[in-house]
Amino acid sequence: MNVVKFLVAALLLLCSSAVAPASAAGGPLAGKIIGIDPGHNGRNWSDPSYLNHKVWNGREWESCDTTGTETNGGYPEPSFTYSVARNLAALLTAEGAQVVWTRHSNDGVGPCVDRRAKILNNGHADVSIDIHADGGPSGGRGFAILEPVADGPNNKVIASSERFGRVVRGSFVRMTGMPISTYDGNNGIAHRSDLAGLNLTTQPKVLIECGNMRNSSDAAMLTSKVWRHRAAKALADAITRFLTT
Ligand code: ZN
């Protein structure tokens, strides 16, 4: 490469990197706030009394949080949820969105499930997602989407959450290769009235169980870094579709 070509290439590189934030700011999600709740936390196991204290979930008393499940090979659910969440946040930010998180690391305890819902409500998210993976029967496969049931605080977001859930299911089927759950819900959709995150939400929200950590085929996907990025892309695709169409 001669000097002129080098200078032109350097200039182009400089321009493209200078333009990137501006295009993100003007991206399809500019002005939107997305709530991300990576389920559980990496050190929840270390404080059982905190974890087991009861919080009001809108209908009944529920444990503050749980440790989450793990694959038979020992890959913990909090690591999985945090990994997908980080990938998702990067994709959404690149589209111009602001992200509100319920936790910023994977080496802490909590927060409790009621507090997670309040963080996202107070952050005025346009839509939120709770990310989990299930500890189901070892012969069962696939992902399921858990949706809220009207109970007062969430009354205004039942219909929008239903629509969001259908969009998430479509993107996840199309983009991840993970099958729809063979054991949970009806065609991948389950309505749940026992979860603070869904009972207390005042924004459209669903909880996704991205797969079954106790099934070996699902676990092979969930433990793959490449697959987790694919899952995050599917969730970003769904969020963008939900907010822009
Ligand atoms: Zn979970």
Instruction: State residue 21's pLDDT score.
Output: 42
Contact 35, 200 (CB under 8 A): no
pLDDT at 26: 79
More confident residue, 17 or 24: 24
Give catalytic residue positions: 209
**What SS3 class is residue 146?**
strand
Q: Yes or no: say if 81 and 23 are a contact pair by the CB < 8 Å rule.
A: no
- pLDDT digit string (tens) for 134-168? 999 999 999 999 999 999 999 999 999 999 999 99
* Residue 202 neighbours by CB distance under 10 Å: 18
The answer to the question of residue 206 being in a domain is: yes
When comparing pLDDT for 9 and 225, which is higher? 225
In the prediction, which pLDDT does 24 show? 59
**Mean pLDDT of all residues in 72-97:** 98
Closest to 147 (Cα-Cα) out of 194, 180, 77, 81: 194
- Which amino acid is residue 141, in one-letter code? R
CB atoms within 10 A of CB 69: 21
pTM above 0.85, yes or no: yes
How far, in Å, from the CA of 33 to the mean position of ligand 1? 23
Tally of domains in the chain: 1
What Cα–Cα distance (Å) separates residue 164 from each residue in 40, 103, 158? 23, 23, 10
Q: Which of 230, 222, 208, 206 is nearest to 91 (CA)?
A: 230
- Residue 10 scores a pLDDT above 50: no
Ligand 1 centroid distance, CA of 68 (Å): 5
Within a domain: residue 137? yes
Residue 148 to residue 190: CA distance in whole angstroms: 9
Centre of ligand 1 from the C-alpha of residue 65, in Å: 9
CA of 205 to the centre of ligand 1 (A): 16
Q: What is the pLDDT of residues 33-75, one digit of tens each?
A: 999 999 999 999 999 999 999 999 999 999 999 999 999 999 9
Q: Note the residue count of the chain.
A: 245
Q: Is there a domain that residue 228 lies in?
A: yes
The reply to whether 20 falls in a domain is no
Q: Whole domain around residue 102: which residue ranges?
A: 29-244
Q: Decide if 13 is inside a domain.
A: no
Tell me, in angstroms, the distance from the centre of ligand 1 to residue 133's CA. 6
CATH no. for residue 128?
3.40.630.40
Helices (H), 123-215: 158-176, 196-199
How far is ligand 1, taken at its centre, from the CA of residue 31, in Å? Answer: 30
| 2 inside domain | no
- What does DSSP assign to residue 157? G
Contacts for 22 with CB less than 8 Å, ≥ 6 apart: none
Residue 208 Cα to ligand 1 midpoint, Å, equals 9
8 A C-beta contact, residue 55 and residue 61: yes
